[in-house]
């Protein structure tokens, strides 16, 4: 059997198209690894019990239609799905005991689109319960461990999906982001993660967290895969009124960068001395790569991230308290007593912020500052193509770090929250290692400028090889 390790979408398709491997062999490669690795890392919570039959059927289709990828670009490719996307007939729990045993009666639009594109669902990955967190440590089904070092966290909330890509337990994975939940675990696990513009990908059938910023997106082995996946996922959806009218007609294709025309902004508030000095050093080295190609790079000033942390904390808790009010254990799921500590804490603060007498002081004030954050970005993007910064202030923290920290997630995502509040698009690409743990670089663009961000990310990956490093898991 040819080399099947760390396959990208393109390399997997080539092996399948040339019949060097079958879909069933590819699936069995992952199943064998999952059986060996998963018990030690808790990445997948549940597997698709029918994957081998589906793979065998896919092989029959390839035999009769060797050009199937022209119409179904993900045909026969096994993927991992975060535990907050509904899949008809599958137990989906948002990694909370409240939904333990809940069998989804319909599928999320994202899942429908992946199925139509021919992808095969391998299994469901762990996450922070209700996506409340940046560690995957608050899952009611135990923490996921970082494939680079088991003593460390994978980040979150899409930590299971990021770890599944890093540990080579799928070709690609799907996650969702409210403020950093794709990009931060991508950074901590050393994979490529992409957050499309808010409204580009449908939220229908995704367990709601903060509806005004929830954005599904891909985690994969490189930028090109993220671009292709975004083309599959994006689109206007009649079942999600916030999807953008033009979303269906956009092709997400990274193109060659005309460096002399590129202007990049480095916010000085995002390069603060409070950050891990090793992270800062690696990001500066990455910036030098863009400069060496001829890009114009300027230091700029954005609103201090402490304001976006405060806005996000109020807006997110408020939307959470509203979204989670539907879980009363009557029509489905279990009673509210099953909510974990973190969900209860967030519901409590959100309920307070929306309660009579406090609404103006907290919720309305936060929404006004949100306008200022959006305007702040608009001004930058009048003159610049993208913003470059670290994804996370540090490398993956140790297991136990999030315990009893009421604002753990907010502080880990302080360099990402503003972009989520403003609905921007952003990419996390690996840019080096510190203490043998990966570091991520964020490339953030104005709303609906995915192709600018993806092109810069692809160019960076052509000039570097950090995205081709994978942890050596010897079990």
Bridge partners of 425, per DSSP, are: 445
User: Of the residues 22, 82, 134, 447, which is catalytic?
Assistant: 82
Please say if 403 is a catalytic residue: no
Residue-by-residue DSSP string for 272-331: -TTS-HHHHHHHHHHHHHHHHTT-EEEEE----HHHHHHHHHHHHHHHHHHHGGG--SSS
Closer to other proteins by CB, 340 or 471: give it: 340
Place of tokens 């990694």: 95
Q: Which of 134, 158, 181, 455 is catalytic?
A: 181
| 181 counts as catalytic | yes
Q: Any bridge partners for residue 387, and if so which?
A: 265, 444
Give the C-alpha separation, 435 to 454, whole Å: 28
423 makes contact with other proteins (CB under 8 A): yes
Q: Buried (b) or exposed (e) across 71-87, using 16+ Cβ within 10 A?
A: ebbbbbbbbbbbbbbbb
Which residues are CB-contacts of 123 (< 8 A; sequence separation ≥ 6)? 34, 44, 45, 46, 47, 48, 80, 81
| Choice between 219 and 373, CB closer to other proteins | 373
Instruction: Mark whether 134 is an active-site residue.
Output: no
Among 148, 198, 252, 381, binds other proteins (CB under 8 A): 198
In angstroms, how far is CA 120 from the centroid of its own chain? Answer: 19
Contacting residue, 3, 407, 463, 468, with other proteins by CB under 8 A: 407
Give the x/- contact pattern for other proteins in 257-296, rule: CB under 8 A: ----------------------------------------
Locate all alpha helices (DSSP H) within 152-204, ordered by sequence: 159-166, 183-189
- Quote the least distance from Cβ 110 to other proteins, whole Å: 15
- Rounded Cα gap, residues 170 and 64, in angstroms: 25
352 or 433, CB closer to other proteins?
Answer: 352
Q: CB of residue 212 vs other proteins: minimum separation in angstroms?
A: 5
Give the residue with the Cβ less far from other proteins, 152 or 447.
Answer: 447
Member of 2, 105, 256, 274 binding other proteins (CB under 8 A): 105
- DSSP-derived letter for residue 363 is I
Strands in 66-171 per DSSP E: 78-82, 120-125
Task: Report the site for other proteins in 22-81 (rule: CB under 8 A).
Answer: none
Residue with smaller CB distance to other proteins, 18 or 371: 371
HSE, CB side, 13 Å, CA atoms: give it for residue 109: 20
Query: Is residue 311 part of the contact set for other proteins (CB under 8 A)?
Result: yes
Q: Toward other proteins, which CB reaches closer, 370 or 458?
A: 370
User: CA angle at residue 423 from 297 to 152, to 5 degrees?
Assistant: 80
106 touches other proteins (CB under 8 A)? yes
Task: Closer to other proteins by CB, 297 or 405: give it.
Answer: 405
Q: Please state the closest distance from residue 270 (CB atom) to other proteins, in A.
A: 17
When asked if residue 364 is in the footprint of other proteins (CB under 8 A), the reply is yes
Task: Just list the catalytic residues.
Answer: 82, 157, 181
Binding site for other proteins (CB under 8 A): 101-103, 105-106, 198-199, 212, 238-239, 241-242, 244-245, 306-307, 309-311, 313-314, 321, 325, 328, 330-332, 336-337, 339, 341, 344-345, 347-349, 351-352, 355, 358, 361-362, 364-372, 374-375, 404, 406-407, 421-423, 447
């Amino acid at each position: 059997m040819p080399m099947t390790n760390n396959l990208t979408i393109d390399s997997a398709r080539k092996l399948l198209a040339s019949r060097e491997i079958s879909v069933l062999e590819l699936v069995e490669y992952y199943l064998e690894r999952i059986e060996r690795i998963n018990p030690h890392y808790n990445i997948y919570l549940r597997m698709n019990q029918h994957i081998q039959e589906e793979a065998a059927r896919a092989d029959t289709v390839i035999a009769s239609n060797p050009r199937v990828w022209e119409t179904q670009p993900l045909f026969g490719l096994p993927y991992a799905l975060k535990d907050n996307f509904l899949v008809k007939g599958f137990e989906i729990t948002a990694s909370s005991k409240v939904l333990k045993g809940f069998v989804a009666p319909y599928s999320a639009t994202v899942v429908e689109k992946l199925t139509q594109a021919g992808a095969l669902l391998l299994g469901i990955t762990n996450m922070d319960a209700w996506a409340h967190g940046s560690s995957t440590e608050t899952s009611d089904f135990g923490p996921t461990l970082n494939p680079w070092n088991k003593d460390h966290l994978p980040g979150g909330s899409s930590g299971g999906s990021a770890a599944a890509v890093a540990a080579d337990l799928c070709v690609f994975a799907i996650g969702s982001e409210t403020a950093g939940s794709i990009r931060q675990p991508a950074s901590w696990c050393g994979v490529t993660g992409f957050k499309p513009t808010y409204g580009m990908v449908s939220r229908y059938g995704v367990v709601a967290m903060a509806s005004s910023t929830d954005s599904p997106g891909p985690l994969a082995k490189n930028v090109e895969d993220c671009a292709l996946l975004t083309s599959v996922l994006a689109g206007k959806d009649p079942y999600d009124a916030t999807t953008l009218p033009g979303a269906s007609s956009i092709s997400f294709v990274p193109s060659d960068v005309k460096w002399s025309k590129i202007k990049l902004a480095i916010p000085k508030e995002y390069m603060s001395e409070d950050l891990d000095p090793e992270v800062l050093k690696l990001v500066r080295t990455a910036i030098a790569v863009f400069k060496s190609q001829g890009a114009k790079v300027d230091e700029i000033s954005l609103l201090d991230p402490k304001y976006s942390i405060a806005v996000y904390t109020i807006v997110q808790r408020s939307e959470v308290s509203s979204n989670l009010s539907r879980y009363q254990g009557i029509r489905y799921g279990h009673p509210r007593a099953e909510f974990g500590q973190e969900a209860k804490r967030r519901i409590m603060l959100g309920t307070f912020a929306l309660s009579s007498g406090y609404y103006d002081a907290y919720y309305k004030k936060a929404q006004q500052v949100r306008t200022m954050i959006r305007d702040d970005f608009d001004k930058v993007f009048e003159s610049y193509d993208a913003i470059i910064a670290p994804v996370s202030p540090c490398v993956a923290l140790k297991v136990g770090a999030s315990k009893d920290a009421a604002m753990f997630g907010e502080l880990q995502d302080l360099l990402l929250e503003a972009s989520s509040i403003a609905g921007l698009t952003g990419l996390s690409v690996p840019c080096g290692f510190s203490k043998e743990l990966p570091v991520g670089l964020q490339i953030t663009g104005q709303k609906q400028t995915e192709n600018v961000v993806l092109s810069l990310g692809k160019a960076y990956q052509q000039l570097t090889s950090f995205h081709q490093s994978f942890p050596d898991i010897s079990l």
